[in-house]
Copies of this chain bind each other. A is one copy, B any other.
Amino acid sequence: MDEKYTFALRKIALLGGMNDYIAVSSRELGEALDMSQQSASKRILELLDKKYIVRDLGARKQRIKLTSEGIDQLKGEYNEYRRIFELSDHIVLHGTIKSGLGEGGYYICQNNYMDQFQDVLGFKPYEGTLNVHVDKEDVGKLDLIKGLTGHTIDGFHKDGRSFGNVTAYKAKIRNVDCAIVVPDRTHHKDVIEIVCQYHLRRTLSINDGDRVDVRVEI
């Protein structure tokens, strides 16, 4: 019975309730949900109870807004649709080459990681990673990718510092085999780290600011 909640949340989101509080009477919500004012009022109370929305109950009209939990509910359903409609056998990330080795570069270049890359990817990465700044409109695809199985690279301890698990996803840039590497304990970022057998900048003659398409295998 989770379905009726996401249905309501979706309609609220379409009314603009994702970013801001919106003034929606129970009568109006009932119209959007094709149900009575009374039922819509009840639905709002249920959504409040489940912490999917928050409400500012003014004198004339209530104002409601999705919580991050509510947004997550929608995202889950959205990702199901993406699995249905978008996934052929690859996902294409559009982005721009970014400068710097970055923290991730140092992180990833540990020998322990490198040996494991050799095993799962079939090549020993060239030292250093290529950073790609993923276009805003493609950042959501990273969620999808993290939902894939990928290749798990075990973490380890060294010199008192802990290096966590990393997941590698096989990919291609301009038909050159490479892999996206993502530390498991990472939250939303718009920069991805790419490892490759070759020095990608030199091999493909790409530089900071150049646009690239990263084709991730599924």
Tell me if A3 is interfacial: C-beta within 8 Å of chain B: yes
> Which residues of B lie under 8 Å from residue A140 when comparing CB positions?
85-86
- Among B4, B13, B84, point to the contact of A74 (Cβ < 8 A): B84
B14 touches A83 (CB 8 A): yes
In the complex formed, the residue of B with least CB distance to A94 is B94
Measured CB to CB, the closest approach of chain B to A214, in angstroms, equals 13
Number of chain A residues close to chain B: CB under 8 A:
27
Bound-complex Cα distance A74 to B94 (A): 26
> Which residues of B lie under 8 Å from residue A137 when comparing CB positions?
86, 88, 91-92
> Which residues of B lie under 8 Å from residue A86 when comparing CB positions?
137, 140
B81 touches A74 (CB 8 A): yes
In the complex formed, the residue of B with least CB distance to A13 is B84
Tell me if A98 is interfacial: C-beta within 8 Å of chain B: no
> Which residues of B lie under 8 Å from residue A91 when comparing CB positions?
137
A136-B84 in contact given A3-B3, A3-B4 (Cβ < 8 Å): no
Interface centre among A14, A18, A137 (most CB of B within 10 A): A137
Bound-complex Cα distance A140 to B83 (A): 13
Bound-complex Cα distance A92 to B85 (A): 18
* Contact residues of A between 150 and 193, Cβ < 8 Å to B: none
Tell me if A78 is interfacial: C-beta within 8 Å of chain B: yes
In the complex formed, the residue of B with least CB distance to A136 is B88
Bound-complex Cα distance A74 to B86 (A): 13
B77 touches A81 (CB 8 A): yes
Interface residues of A (CB under 8 A from B): 3-4, 7, 10, 13-14, 18, 74-75, 77-78, 80-81, 83-86, 88, 91-92, 94, 135-137, 140, 211, 213
Q: 7 nearest interchain CB pairs?
A: A78-B81, A13-B84, A3-B7, A92-B137, A78-B85, A81-B81, A3-B3
